[in-house]
Amino acid sequence: MSVIKFAIPKGSLEEATFQFLAEAGYNILSGKRSYRPKISDQEISLKMLRPQEIPVYISEGVADIAITGEDWIRETKANVEILTSLEYGRVKLVAGAPKDLPVDSLSDVLQYFWSQNRNIRISTEYLKICSDWIKSNPVYKKKYGDKDPLIITPWWKIGDNPKVSIFLSFGATEAKTPEISDIIMDVTETGTTLSANNIKIMEIVMESYAVLIANKDALSDPIKREKIYDVLALFRGVVNGRKNLHIFVNVKKENLQKLLSALPALKKPTISPLSNENWLSINTVVDKQKFLKLLPNLRKFAQGLVVHEPRQILSLDELPNGVDSEE
């Protein structure tokens, strides 16, 4: 019987999420059309949902934990607990304009269209983020004060400033300029698709990664909380494993302190004696980004270097964010 309900994203984050779950030690079985994949943990039931929907469903208790993008948490303003960043699925939410439009920022856009005595139309999936972004602009504030841009969907309109209108886009947002909208707000990894559609990036509004989130009531349930923390420990282990290298190296006793000063570890490296009493073995973890800088000292003071990429590094003594040490 499942202890927790776990929602995972369908779409752009799907493949990377399945890979992440595999690295965490879970086996996933799923048909190509299935939205209910099976997981090798009987205490977890999986459900696939669109990442746009997930934050609200978690907030309302439809599921206990989920993976979604930071962008959709900010857009929906859902009342959820962000447990940790999973550090994959990086995208940038950007504002873009046609390349031949003489603007490089939202301020430029506002001033240009005012000079032409034209209203401004913006297409995006991110209605709330876009509205907040516009309202925070000093040029907009100076002319319109606290007025809300007009948000237009097929079902309703809200806002009191028709001079700047935000239209809900259901996808292919980059195709909306210039005929349907003047500028867009959309997510991109590299900007290639935007450029291919004659759109230049004016501003980066935010960066977003996949995150693990939880329903706050689920975290208050002792049984669910313990299971959620098990998942959290595994996921943090994967994130740490991807950032580090596990190395084994042999060193003469006389060079030990020289080498240790150049080898930061999670806490302290493990040092073991070898059959030759003049030599020691060091077992430690180093930052993957710093390894090449450490290599000269390793070559200088050590021998027999073995390097491998750990699947996970679990700091089991670390409590989750916001958890009292007395619990």
Q: Look at residues 208, 202, 216 and name the one whose alpha carbon lies nearest to residue 189.
A: 208
pLDDT-derived band at 294, boundaries 50, 70, 90: confident
pLDDT-derived band at 316, boundaries 50, 70, 90: confident
* Residue 107 lies inside a defined structural domain of this protein: yes
CA distance 170 to 174: 11
CATH number of the domain residue 269 falls in: 3.30.70.120
Residues 119 and 203 in one domain: yes
pLDDT of residue 320: 56
- The string of pLDDT tens digits covering residues 86-141 is 999 999 999 999 999 999 999 999 999 999 999 999 999 999 999 999 999 999 99
pLDDT of residue 264: 63
CA distance 281 to 245: 16
What's the chain's average pLDDT? 92
* Residue 202 lies inside a defined structural domain of this protein: yes
Residues 64 and 196 in one domain: no
Looking at the structure of the chain, the number of domains it has is: 3
Maximal C-alpha separation, the chain: 85
* Residue 154 lies inside a defined structural domain of this protein: yes
Whether the Cβ atoms of residue 8 and residue 51 lie closer than 8 Å to each other: no
Residues 112 and 63 in one domain: no
Burial 40-55 (b: 16+ CB within 10 A, else e): ebeebbbbbbebbbbb
pLDDT of residue 142: 96
* Residue 235 lies inside a defined structural domain of this protein: no
Residues 136 and 197 in one domain: yes
Whether the Cβ atoms of residue 213 and residue 83 lie closer than 8 Å to each other: yes
CA distance 199 to 16: 27
* Residue 276 lies inside a defined structural domain of this protein: yes
CATH number of the domain residue 186 falls in: 3.40.190.10
pLDDT of residue 265: 57
* Residue 326 lies inside a defined structural domain of this protein: no
Q: Is the pLDDT of residue 286 over 50?
A: yes
pLDDT-derived band at 325, boundaries 50, 70, 90: very low
Residues 197 and 66 in one domain: no
Secondary structure (DSSP) of 47-59: EEE-TTTHHHHHH
Residues 134 and 200 in one domain: yes
Higher pLDDT, 137 or 316: 137
Residues 183 and 159 in one domain: yes
Give me the domain span that covers residue 138.
92-208
Residues 76 and 99 in one domain: no
pLDDT of residue 31: 64
Residues 96 and 80 in one domain: no
Share of the chain above pLDDT 70, in %: 94
Whether the Cβ atoms of residue 31 and residue 19 lie closer than 8 Å to each other: no
pLDDT of residue 30: 75
Residues 133 and 180 in one domain: yes
CA distance 65 to 82: 10
Using CB atoms within 10 Å of the CB of residue 196, give its burial: 0 to 12 exposed, 13 to 18 middle, 19+ buried. exposed
- The string of pLDDT tens digits covering residues 171-211 is 999 999 999 999 999 999 999 999 999 999 999 999 999 99
Q: Distance between the two ends of the chain, CA-based, in angstroms?
A: 26
Residues 216 and 123 in one domain: no
- Of 208, 232, 254, the residue that ends a domain is 208
* Residue 117 lies inside a defined structural domain of this protein: yes
Residue keyed to tokens 């190395």: 247
pLDDT of residue 269: 86
- The string of pLDDT tens digits covering residues 1-52 is 678 999 999 999 999 999 999 999 999 987 667 899 999 999 999 999 999 9
- The string of pLDDT tens digits covering residues 216-241 is 999 999 999 999 999 999 999 999 99
* Tokens matching residue 239: 């994130």
Contacts of 245 (CB under 8 A, 6+ apart): 285, 286, 287, 288, 291, 307, 308, 309, 310
pLDDT-derived band at 262, boundaries 50, 70, 90: confident
- Of 149, 184, 208, the residue that ends a domain is 208
Share of the chain above pLDDT 90, in %: 80
pLDDT-derived band at 257, boundaries 50, 70, 90: confident
pTM greater than the 0.75 cutoff: yes
Q: How far is CA 304 from CA 83, 157, 254, 270, 281, in A?
A: 40, 68, 17, 16, 9
Residues 152 and 283 in one domain: no
* Residue 237 lies inside a defined structural domain of this protein: no
Q: Is the pLDDT of residue 162 over 70?
A: yes
